[in-house]
Amino acid sequence: MTKIFIIDDHQIMINGIIDSLKIRPDLQVVGFALDAYEALKWIDGNPFDVILLDVSLPDTDGIELCKTIRKSNPQAKIIGLTTFHQVSFIQAMLKNGASGYLFKNTTAEQLCTAIDTVVGGDQYLSEEVKDAIVQKSAFSSRHDSFVPKLTRREKEVLELILSEKTTQEIADSLFLSVSTVETHRMNLCTKLGARNTAGMVKNAIKFGLI
């Protein structure tokens, strides 16, 4: 019996994974967590074979959590399961100890194959992930790495966010409305693959934007 632990901040996604794995009686979901804090607490006292890990979590990112888990559990088999298609995230997950990477639109059969593969000691990347890496490699022949393109105004807003300015202060500084600043914040989060200001800042650093 292969014991599976799921870390994802969406309960509906967790339920979907559990239902998908029912096609294989030998794959047992032994627990789940909605954030990194609960995940680490569970992992510390329970046996598992494979972790299915979302890259985006409310209290940290999956890359850091993957690194933390592998430090205390060097033999842990971790599969990144996420909506993030950016190759920079894929590479960071693999660099920090993930054994596999899948997009959330994967089939139940692909998910089971990924679990079997990493349990067997090999790395698993879905065809979609491989295609993304190949495309990135072709792009990198002309560019050093993927960096989100920000508009001049987005860069100005980002700089003021880094200066710990409030939304109102940013609006006053740039002579914009508060709603316009909020729109720029949302666009920055989308381009940087972040869910909140903390993630925005962390990813801006990763991409070398600051």
Give me the mean pLDDT over the 187-201 stretch: 86
Residue 80 CB coordination number (10 Å): 27
Rounded to two decimals, what is the model's pTM?
0.66
> Per-residue pLDDT tens for 38-52?
999 999 999 999 999
Buried residues in 33-50 as b, exposed as e (16+ CB within 10 A): bbebeebbebbeeeebbb
> Per-residue pLDDT tens for 109-152?
999 999 999 999 999 998 888 887 776 665 454 445 567 788 88
What pLDDT score does 193 carry?
85
**Residue 114 and residue 58: Cα distance in Å, rounded?**
25
Query: Is the CA virtual torsion 54, 58, 64, 66 positive or negative?
Result: negative
Helices 167-174 and 152-162: crossing angle, nearest 10°?
130
What pLDDT score does 88 carry?
79
- Per-domain boundaries in the chain: 2-139, 152-206
Pick the CATH number of 2-139 from 3.40.50.300, 3.40.50.1970, 3.40.50.1980, 3.40.50.2300: 3.40.50.2300
Sheet arrangement for strand 27-33? 27-33, 2-7, 50-53, 77-82, 100-103, 124-125
Nearest to 18 by CA among 35, 31, 34, 2: 31
Contact between 209 and 158 under an 8 Å Cβ cutoff? The reply is: yes
> 152-206 is classed in which CATH architecture?
Orthogonal Bundle (1.10)
> Per-residue pLDDT tens for 25-79?
999 999 999 999 999 999 999 999 999 999 888 888 888 899 999 999 999 999 9
Nearest to 101 by CA among 55, 146, 157, 162: 55
Contact between 65 and 57 under an 8 Å Cβ cutoff? The reply is: yes
